[in-house]
Amino acid sequence: MQPQNRRLSSSYIHSINGQIPITSIAISPDSQTLISASNDGNIQLRNIATWKLLRTIDTKSNGYSQSRGVSCLIITPDGSKIISGTGDNSIKLWEFATGKLLHSFKDSDLFTPLKFALAADGQTLICGSAIFSAAGEVETVSLWNLTTRKLIRMLKYSDIGEVNSGAIAISPDSETFIVESAMGENLLLLDTASGKILGIFKISSNYSRSSRIVINPDGQILVRGSEQNFVNTLPSRIEVWHLTTGNLLYTITQENSDYVTALAISPDGNTLFSGGLDNTIKSWNLHTGELLNTFTGHQDRISSIAISPNGQILVSGSQDCTVKIWRI
């Protein structure tokens, strides 16, 4: 945690202070409820207007026995369920209204969920994960049917090669999804129904592994936040790609941040938000790359950001153990 106090941006509304680093943030489809997860395995639901705590889902009381906390979470499009990746190496399905555990997804492989993407109809969950075996750690992608609660398929090395399981995004029509190759040299476009590779986007020779990727609401633009390239001593950057042409539209260089830790796009598709190791959140004109605003106040790196579906509120979670709410 950084010792200095940072001035709060003028758009700051409220801070929820805790004792445990925040790992993931989500907002309900009606823009009324904030869901946050932390390293202690707790998921908290709060009214976004009053900040009142509605309920806490204690994953430790549902068979959780390790100390790695909740690694990722997402809410279904109808707002009825929360999906979490937890430290006991499983995906868990929770009832939003009660916090009841509905199902724990397990497969024969022991894996740690790292990143989720969910189809627009709420039926197919894509999970990027790390699988541990006698041969070592391998990152992979699995697809799950949330209705039958069964594994659809596991995409392994023989299917798509080595992947960066923390860099996954699904198209708005849910027909395709994108995952990055392990070292960040390619972006793979895959068919959701079959898992087959439909296309490959080549990253430049000065590539570095990305930390996050997101797709804008019309499905035409992909944004990639890269880590610092220590081999070529290049700073981290944000890359904006056109998915139809496969062309790199522009790049934003992050001079003062080792890498981008969080990305989100506004519901109208006009504004990009990025969080980084410099403890700030920045907003950008997605069409031009112009810096619009910098949100300051966190004391440690940003771990997750989310935009309310009504486009009015930005929520950020940080390693400084706080959740902050901003007006945008």
* Integer Cα distance of 155 and 141 in angstroms: 5
Residue 153 has which token pair? 């398929």
Domains, the chain, ordered by start: 12-327 (2.130.10.10)
Residue 258 has which token pair? 């080792």
The pLDDT value given to residue 226: 77
The pLDDT value given to residue 108: 43
Residue 261 has which token pair? 């830790």
C-alpha angle 14-275-303 in degrees, rounded to nearest 5: 75
Contact indicator for 119, 128 with CB cutoff of 8 Å: no
* Integer Cα distance of 222 and 141 in angstroms: 19
Give DSSP secondary structure letters for 157-225.
HHHH-SEEEEEEEE-TTSSEEEEEETTSSEEEEEETTT--EEEEEEPPTT---EEEEEE-TTSSEEEEE
Of 33, 26, 38, 44, the residue nearest 69 (C-alpha): 38
* pTM tops 0.75, yes or no: yes
The pLDDT value given to residue 203: 78
Q: Which three-class secondary structure state does DSSP give residue 62?
A: helix
Going from the C-alpha of 275 to that of each of 101, 261, 279, 327, the distances in angstroms are 31, 6, 7, 16
Give the single-character DSSP code of 60: G
The pLDDT value given to residue 109: 53
The pLDDT value given to residue 139: 83
pLDDT along the chain (328 residues), means of 10: 48 91 96 95 94 90 61 95 85 94 74 89 92 71 92 83 87 94 85 92 70 92 76 71 90 73 96 92 94 93 96 96 94
Q: Is the dihedral of CA 29, 33, 39, 42 positive or negative?
A: negative
